[in-house]
Structure formats: C-alpha cells, structure tokens
Amino acid sequence: MTRIDWSGRVVVVTGGGSGIGAGIVEEFRAAGAEVIAADISEDAAAAVAAATGAVPERVDVADAASVAALAASVLGRFGRIDVAVNNAGVGPAVPLADMTLDDWRWLLGIDLFGVIHGLNAFLPHLEANPDGGRFVITSSMSGYAPMSPLGAYAVAKAGVSALAEVLAEELAASGSKVGVTVLAPGPVQTRIGEPQRNRPAAGRGSFLSFAPDAPPEAFLHPREVGRILREAIEAGRQLVPTHPQLWPRVAQRHARIAEAFGESVGGSG
C-alpha cells in the first residue's frame, strides 16, 4: 500500500454532517487533507467542521444545481478536487408494497440520483486534476445481498454499485488517472434508523423502525470506516466491504444465481 501525502489534497464529502460521512471527514482531516463537510443540514455540517477543521457547505444531493454549486464553490476556494466522496444517503425500512411514489422519488433522488449528480458535477474536475483523483461512492451490503425491509434502499444501492463498476471500466479504458472506489458498509454506528429527519414533514411516509440484525460488537465506529476508506484509496482498491465476515450472505445469493444459470444451460440441450 502506498501512503499518500494528503497535505494540500482536497476531499469533498457529501452527507458529511453525521454518521459515516462525519467519520470520513474526521479521518481525512487527521491525514492532512483539506476537507469539505457538505450536508443538507447546515447545522450538522457546521458542527462537524468546528470539531475537525473542515469547511462546512450545504448541499442537497437530490438537486443537480445544488451539487454543481458545491463543486464550483470548492474549485473557487481550493482550485482543485482530488477525492469526491458521494456518501449522502437515506435508508428507510418499509415493505415494497407500502412505498408510495413520493417515497420512491425521495429515496432515489438522494441515494441514486445523488450519485449521478455527483458524477456530472465532480468527474470533469477530477479528470482536469493533473494528479488524477478518486470518485468514491458509498453503497451498502444491501447492494450485494438485498433483504427486507430495505428493498427500496437495496434498489438504489445496487444501482450505484453497477454505476461504479461500469464507470471504473470506462475510465480505465480511456487511460484516465481517475479511479473509482465503492464503499460497501455493513453495520455502522449511524442514524440510519432516522432516515426522514431531513425530509419535509408533509412528504414523510410511514416507515418502520430499523436496526441492523447484528451483535453490538459488529457495529463499527464511523471513524473506523473513514480509515478503511482512506487505506483503500491509497491501495487503489475498487470494492471495499467494511465487514468481510458478511461474505457468506453474498455468497449464498451468488450461489442461487449460479444455480439458476446452470439449470438454464442444462435445460437448453
């Protein structure tokens, strides 16, 4: 693993006001980077910035213009972007049949289009950086092993995981100096059980309380996730699960898929 000198590097973190995002902000500030803690909650961004020395910014990732304005603000202040961490997300727990269209639009606007907006806003600046850069997406174990009652969340996370895989292939084929990293967290000490705290009251759905089914010791501190991500970027890794011990759940899904393909091949003769 190559240790990067983060001094003078510029890292943008959406959803940087709490949870995993705040842990990423803290880790990269400790490593010496200039970090922008961007969040839809100005108070949350300001609190993290005050604690870490980061720069607070407000951003609504569901709004393309807001993400573009964030990128422009960072370029105006620092003149470069080295790492764009598309981390903002919501994780409501609700059976798919109970999801309203407004629920779908709200969730996909943040978890899926938030990354798409980040791609449009940040990638050109990463490409323009003579040192290259890293486009980071926070996905989830749910993107690789979907389960109820996080079906809608899994739809979005599977989407951004696919986006990352194809983007990495395309960038490599073009000879780009920009790499892609997908962070796939398992249980982390976050406020995922309060997904609607920043949603206007008029649009809130009736979501279930949700806590990941894992023993307390399995829950990582957000700063630990930040460390995992920093080391993964330094190693040039593309897919970064925080909980490799959860592989059997993913393996079982892959086994079912492989079995289905085998049955189809066997039945075609």
Q: Mind telling me the catalytic residues?
A: 153
Angle of the 101-111 helix axis to the 151-173 helix axis, nearest 10: 30
Per DSSP, what are the bridge partners of residue 208?
93
256 burial class (0-12, 13-18, 19+ CB within 10 angstroms)? exposed
The beta strand positions in 59-161, using DSSP E, are 83-86, 133-138
Residue in this structure with the two tokens 């982390």, named with its chain if needed: 188
Which region holds residue 79: left if phi is over 0, alpha if psi is between -120 and 50, else beta? left
CB contact at 8 A, 142 and 150: yes
118 by DSSP, 3-state: which? helix
Assign 157 to helix, strand or coil.
helix
